[in-house]
Chain A
Amino acid sequence: MEWDVVIGLEVHAQLATKSKIFSGASTAYGAEPNTQACAIDVAMPGMLPVLNQEAVNMAIKFGLSTHSTIASTSIFARKNYFYPDLPKGYQISQFEHPIVKNGFLDIILNDGQTKRIGVTRAHLEEDAGKSLHEDFHGLTGIDLNRAGTPLLEIVSEPDLTSAEEAVIYLKTLHSLVRYLEICDGNMQEGSFRCDANISLKPKGEKKLGTRTEIKNVNSFRYVEKAINFEISRQKEILESGGNVSQETRLYDAVSGETRAMRSKEEANDYRYFPDPDLLPLVVDELTIKSIKNQLPELPADKRERFKVQYELTDYDANNLVASKELADYFEQVCSYTEATAKLAANWVMGDLMALLNKDGLDISQSPISSQSLAELLDRISDNTISGKIAKSVFEAMYAGEGSADEIITQKGLKQIVDPAVITTFITQVIKNNPTQYEQYKAGQDRLFGFFVGQVMKLSQGKVNPQLLNQLLKKQLDS
């Protein structure tokens, strides 16, 4: 039987404000436990929340860049439940009236097609603290540093139909919030985490199947694995005549499986009601307008500009704009070099990214500055070195041995472009390989490559390949 997969994602993006959403305490990550929790975060008696306008502005930025409606009035509600790291016994969130609703995000699928994914809503809320179960000898430690950190919960429509699409959507969203500088996107620290709602229905069927929710997956790879596992798990149940039960599941990265956490019946009754300590959040047109004017160029716009301005393919442009830092780096390289943008794109996305990925660095930590890379590209395009030599120069640059020019001079890698010198090499090679020369002359054209290789070997790769081709052909065929 064939099945339609229906996936909707809920993403919690931690907003990059300096202080918490309802208090003045710092949001910096990694401080000593409970050193960044003030009386409000600890929910001392008589403490009251005061909304951080910066968090509101960030939510508006997100809303505007996803073509959403910004609610002129939105309401903070209390979500009531008891948990030791939830100091007030309720979380302040937005329930019936979120600040952002009815938007969309266009994603580019692997086949190059664009797909529009609905953004149902995005609302502001506060994070809880952390319960620490290790190191306390059977007791639980509570760290409230994270309590009150602002979150934007971004809920998609169930428009995604595979794990692959879900990951593309997630990466597009991740890129967007980082472009907007509203979230640092650090998934390991939990700044960007994802819940996935998954259900299956017989192909073509209108009615949705029963869904499960996988909680708190914190890497793109795990999201893909967790969804794929869940799809096959549900498929197996349905195909053996069973029913999927509506429940919350956890993904175990070690086993690669999801397991049930709590069923719908066990779910809390959160007793939402409007928080009487906070007035309705009113956003006026002027605020929206001024935030709109401050929006940076967004990934989709940048991609289109790159295609035109740098004559890049969809594929190249799409990859380069994935992160703002990468796109900026690429543009800087282009501004410094005489080489073509295509060459710059190839080097940035190819050699540079390969080494950075290997070392787990991101573009902002690149040992080679955009200006240095530009210098190397100039040496390629002005024929000082060949592309092949350039790779070894690049590696030396990456290892910190100096600039492109320094390395080329030091190592004597300057390309040989003097036809007389090249001809000398060719003559030498023909003399050294009389048999192959006879065979070539007898019609074995494919031996041309052999002679190119031998000249390169003899010249330690320094001969200009185009010139070599010309001169070798002339000499062999003469």
Chain B
Amino acid sequence: MHHLSLKAIANKLTKKEISAVELIQYFLDRINTHDKTLNSFVTVCEEQALQQAHAVDQLRNKKKLPYYAGIPIAQKDIFCTQGIKTSCGSKMLDNFIPPYNATVIEKFNQAGFITIGKTNMDEFAMGSSNESSFYGAVKNPWNITKVPGGSSGGSSAAIAARLAPVATGTDTGGSIRQPAALCNLTGLKPTYGRVSRYGMIAFASSLDQGGPMAKTAEDAAIMLNIMAGHDAKDSTCANNAVPDYTANLENPIKGLKIGLPKEYFSAQLDSNVAKQIEQVIQTYKNAGAEFIEISLPSSELAISAYYIIAPAEASSNLSRYDGVRYGYRCEDPKDLTDMYERSRSEGFGSEVKRRIIVGTYALSAGYYDAYYIKAQKIRRVIRDEFLTALNKVDVILSPTTPNTAFNIGEKVNVPVSMYLSDIYTIAVNLAGLPAISAPAGFINGLPLGFQLIGKHFAESTLLNAVHQYQKLTDWHTQSPEQYA
């Protein structure tokens, strides 16, 4: 049951081979059994989920329900859920129960999905290991001494351990793709503006994008069909037509032009990683794809630019957490300044504080031009280089991460080393492009992912390319033995 695709589960529900209550209880039982170890959920919505499942079962006898009605989904705890605590992985919001749903949540509700729980994450999505969460580190189901990636590490661990069939994630610099890669999943970061950010707690507004995390490209396509689309409540949300992302999955990819950025395949690339990626390339060649070398000369500047722009926006986005209206407030404040200082000092963790300080500095008078403006210029150059390259090719292929999952605790005190784990993913956010990560095999028992980057709004191409790859490989069908 827990290995089934969304279609297969929906089929069982429709044919009444299983009830929604049984299905939800089945996954709740798995969570109860395994999540004490993994810590992938901040909140498990046992009661609400069972209630909703019961309602689905009742309604199914009376009328036609949405095709996926009754299927459980794990929601990253960055998406506001009405009546359900939404912490964003922070002590600051440990007591926060939103009176509204994020648009993404609303859309999954409309489609009949049942939120089974809220997944753990790096605090305010700042991190690549899920170690910065107020609720503690999440363990990688493939090896519990390893990180599951971040910031959507709870979502990736939950799917990898088959505690939920699918989950949502958000990606500001790789937070969907990197944990998908480290946990042997398929994760898609859509084009900036494809999915509404309304009710999705902001980290860096110009980079944040919600997207699907799943076992397969097919499931990701089904999810994106639900998530994508214009939302009048988000001014940055795109207003162009949403295709059926499942429609082109079966198209052959003969003649697909795939670019290989020479900068990404330098001598620095780990040889084991290079070997796995070479296999991916071979598979695509066998399917008739053409490979073309391309260049992204400024890609080495991406991390520096990102770590100016993202913290700058974050420093401002996180100003609202001041202890005045909701969220954490320190005990017995002496006066206003004391309340601000202690509420924020006590409510935020160290990585969040580090980025607020960096961002505040970058925006300060006298430094703004040298940092923020310069970073924006680099961002423009990076975007232009991608667009030039994508004129010649349909998609760009790279490893998703420089390596497989690292040890919990290994990079916590070396922020820059942690930041470098997003070296292949970050530039994509700066350019606003869609990109997908999919399983590329294993190194010493740990999964590795490859990334395909597409043109703006070309999610269909990416899903098609990965689906065809997944028909030729079985990496994505493998799951960790302990959770079999």
Contact = CB atoms under 8 A, between A and B. Distances in A.
Interface stretch (B32-40, B276-284, B316-324): B316-324
Interface in B162-215: 197-202, 204-206
Interface in A238-288: 269, 271-273, 276-279
A51 B318 CA distance: 21
Interface string B223-242: 00000000011111000000
Nearest to A271: B363
Contacts of A271: 315-316, 360, 363-365, 368
Nearest to B90: A45
Contacts of B201: 45-46
Given A46-B202, A90-B319, A273 B336 contact: no
B324 A84 contact: yes
A278 B199 contact: no
A476 interface: no
Nearest to A84: B324
Contact of A48 (B93, B98, B234): B234
Interface string A43-82: 1111111110000000000000000000000000010101
A277 B324 CA distance: 23
Contact of A82 (B102, B198, B340): B340
A46 B364 contact: no
Contact of A88 (B93, B200, B320): B320
Interface of B: 79-80, 86, 88, 93, 96, 98-100, 102, 197-202, 204-206, 232-236, 312-313, 315-316, 318-320, 322, 324-326, 336, 340, 360, 363-365, 368, 372
A150 interface: no
A45 B232 contact: no
A289 to B, nearest CB: 24
Contacts of A84: 322, 324, 336
Given A42-B325, A46-B98, 8 more contacts: A42-B326, A45-B86, A47-B199, A48-B197, A89-B320, A271-B365, A277-B205, A278-B236
- Which one of A46, A273, A278 has the greatest number of beta carbons of chain B within 10 Å? A46
A46 B365 contact: no
Contact of B96 (A42, A45, A49, A278): A45
A82 B360 CA distance: 13
Given A45-B86, A48-B197, A50-B235, A82 B322 contact: yes
B235 A46 contact: no
A39 B324 contact: no
A142 interface: yes
A299 interface: no
Interface string A19-58: 0000000000000000000010011111111110000000
Contacts of A273: 312-313, 316, 363, 368, 372
Contacts of B336: 84, 140
A185 interface: no
- Which one of A39, A43, A48, A89 has the greatest number of beta carbons of chain B within 10 Å? A48
A87 interface: yes
Contact of A276 (B88, B98, B100, B236): B236
A392 B191 CA distance: 78
14 contacts: A39-B99, A44-B80, A44-B98, A45-B320, A46-B102, A46-B201, A47-B199, A50-B233, A82-B340, A89-B320, A89-B322, A90-B316, A273-B363, A276-B206
Nearest to B326: A44
Given A273-B312, A277-B236, A279-B235, A46 B200 contact: yes
Contacts of A276: 204-206, 236, 313
Contacts of A49: 235
A80 B363 CA distance: 10
A88 B372 CA distance: 21
B80 to A, nearest CB: 5
Given A46-B200, A82-B340, A269 B316 contact: no
Given A46-B80, A46-B202, A276-B313, A39 B320 contact: no
B236 A142 contact: no
B319 A89 contact: yes
Contacts, number: 99
A30 B200 CA distance: 33
Contact of B235 (A48, A89, A140): A48
B369 to A, nearest CB: 11
Contacts of A48: 197-198, 233-236
A43 B235 contact: no
B363 A278 contact: no
A140 B319 CA distance: 20
Interface string A87-128: 111100000000000000000000000000000000000000
A273 B322 CA distance: 20
Given A46-B201, A271-B360, A277 B235 contact: yes
Contacts of A45: 80, 86, 88, 93, 96, 98, 201-202, 320
Contact of B325 (A43, A278, A279): A43
A248 B386 CA distance: 49
Nearest to A273: B363
A439 B32 CA distance: 123
Q: Which 10 A-B pairs have the closest CB atoms?
A: A89-B319, A276-B206, A271-B363, A276-B205, A46-B199, A43-B320, A45-B201, A46-B201, A269-B365, A46-B80
Nearest to B102: A46
B235 A278 contact: yes
Contacts of A43: 320, 325
Contacts of B316: 78, 80, 89-90, 271, 273
B377 to A, nearest CB: 14
A376 B454 CA distance: 81
Contacts of B325: 42-43, 87, 142
A46 B208 CA distance: 11
Contacts of B340: 82
Contacts of B360: 271
A396 to B, nearest CB: 58
Contacts of B326: 42, 44
Contacts of B99: 39, 44
A118 B365 CA distance: 29
A270 to B, nearest CB: 8
B322 to A, nearest CB: 6
A276 B206 CA distance: 5
A141 to B, nearest CB: 11
Contacts of B96: 45
Contacts of B324: 84, 87, 142
Contacts of B199: 46-47
Contacts of A88: 319-320
Nearest to A85: B324
A74 B306 CA distance: 25
A312 B211 CA distance: 70
A328 to B, nearest CB: 39
A461 B252 CA distance: 107
- Which one of A43, A44, A140, A279 has the greatest number of beta carbons of chain B within 10 Å? A44
Contacts of A142: 324-325
Nearest to A89: B319
A45 B320 CA distance: 8
A80 B235 contact: no
B22 to A, nearest CB: 33
Nearest to A140: B336
A78 B372 CA distance: 14
Contacts of A140: 336
A269 B364 contact: yes
A35 to B, nearest CB: 15
Nearest to A23: B233
Nearest to A79: B316
Interface string A147-178: 00000000000000000000000000000000
Nearest to B365: A269
A277 to B, nearest CB: 5
A49 B236 CA distance: 10
Given A271-B360, A271-B363, A273-B368, A39 B100 contact: yes
Contact of A50 (B80, B232, B312): B232
